[in-house]
Chain A
C-alpha cells in the first residue's frame, strides 16, 4: 500500500489541478457568451450579403461571362484549403476534429492526383499539420496577439487569398472550421469559397419572396458582382473565425467540465485509499502493541 505522505501529496496536487480546470471552465463560459453574441451580431450582414449574392448570381448561372470568383476558372487541379483552428489548447477534441477532416480531404484529393496547398489560421492547427504536411503549408496566420477577432483579421486573410487566386496559384478554395451548434456539439465543416457555393435551399425559399421584383442595377450586375464577391470572401472568413471562437470556448467548457468532474472522482478515490491505509497502519501498530504486551 502506498505511503501516506505520497497519497497526501497526490490529493493536494489533484485538487489544485481541479481548481485550475474549474477556473478555466468559468472563464470559457463567460467568454462563450461574448463569442456567441459576436456570431449573432455578425449574422445579419452575412445573411444580407448572401441574399444579394444569391439574387445576382442566379442571373449569371449558366452564362460564360460570369466572374471567375463566382464560377471558378474552369480547372480543378490545384486546391487551397484554409484551416481555421484555435490559438490555445485544452479544448477537448476541437482542433483534432477539424484537422482530422482536413487530413481526410487531403488524402482524398491527393489520391485523385490533385495538388494541395494549405493556409493555416491558429497555432494549434500549425502544430498538428506541420509534421505531415509541412511542405503543403504556404502561409500561417497567428492571431494569438489579437484580443477580439474582427473584420480586420478576416480581411487580411481574404486579401491574401484573392491575390493568390489572381496569380493563378490555385483553382478551388475551401474553408475548414467548426460550426457552433451548441455547447456540447461543434461540427467541423468544409465550406467552398471559390467558386462561390450558391445555397440552393435558401435560394428556393427566398425566391418566393422576391419573385416579382425586377431589380435595377447601378453600375450593372457584372460590376456589382465584381465588388461584392471579394467582400463576400472576407465576410465568409469572418463568420468562420467567429463561429470557430464560439466553438472553441464551447469545446473548452465541456472539456474542462469533464476534467473537473474527473478530478473530484479521483480525489474521492484517493481519499478512500488514504483513509484505508491510515486505518491499516493504526491497526497494525495496535496489534504490535497488544502482542508485545501479551508476550511479557
Chain B
C-alpha cells in the first residue's frame, strides 16, 4: 500500500505542480475535501477556494483557484484549474496587483453569483496577504 499520492495540477497554459504528495485539500463544489492515498475514485467540480498541497508534515503549498475540476483515481489526482495564484511564494507586488484586479472586477460585475465568488476571492487574498 502506497502512502503517497501522485498529484498533477495543470492549467491551460502550464503545469503548476506535478509530483508525489501526502495529501491534497481541495475546495469541492459541495464542501472541502481532503484527498489522501487510497481514496475512492471520485470526480468533482471545484469552486473558488484554496488548494492545499501537503508535501510533508510541515511543508504545504497553497494556491487560490477560480474553480475547476478534480479527478481522483487509483492514487492519481488530477486537478484542472484555469486560473491559479500561488499564496505562499508570491511577492507583495503580485498580491497588490491581483487584489487590485479583483477589486476592479467586483466593481464592474453585476451578476449575483459571480460577484459573490469575487468577494470570496478577495477575502482569501487579504487573509493570506503577507
Q: Which residues in A have some Cβ–Cβ distance to B below 8 Å?
A: 38, 41-42, 44-46, 48-49, 51-52, 55-56, 150-151, 154-155, 210, 213-219, 223-224, 227-228, 231, 234-235, 238
Contacts and interface: CB of A to CB of B under 8 A. Distances in A.
Nearest to A210: B73
Nearest to B78: A48
Contacts, number: 79
A48 B82 contact: no
A216 B13 CA distance: 28
Interface string B32-48: 00000000111111000
- The secondary structure that dominates the A interface is helix
Interface in B1-42: 8, 10-15, 28-30, 40-42
A216 B99 CA distance: 36
B44 A224 contact: yes
B12 A235 contact: yes
A46 B80 CA distance: 9
Contacts of B11: 45, 151
B25 to A, nearest CB: 15
Contact of A150 (B13, B42, B45): B13
Contacts of A213: 41, 73-74
A48 B44 contact: no
Interface residues of B, number: 23
B32 to A, nearest CB: 12
A199 B10 CA distance: 22
B63 to A, nearest CB: 15
Interface of B: 8, 10-15, 28-30, 40-45, 69, 71, 73-74, 78, 80, 82
A271 to B, nearest CB: 50
A219 B13 contact: no
Given A217-B44, A223-B45, A224-B43, A52 B13 contact: no
Contacts of A218: 28-30, 42-45
B12 A224 contact: no
Contacts of A55: 43
Contacts of B74: 213
Contacts of A231: 69, 80, 82
B10 A216 contact: no
19 contacts: A42-B12, A42-B13, A44-B15, A48-B10, A48-B80, A52-B43, A210-B73, A213-B73, A214-B41, A215-B73, A219-B30, A219-B44, A223-B45, A224-B43, A224-B45, A227-B45, A227-B69, A228-B45, A234-B12
A217 B29 CA distance: 11
Contact of A44 (B10, B45, B71): B10
A160 to B, nearest CB: 17
B29 A219 contact: yes
A238 B12 CA distance: 8
Contacts of A44: 8, 10, 15
A289 B121 CA distance: 94
B43 A215 contact: yes
Q: Which residue of A38, A49, A217, A218 has the most chain B CB atoms within 10 A of its CB atom?
A: A218
A154 B82 CA distance: 12
B69 A52 contact: yes
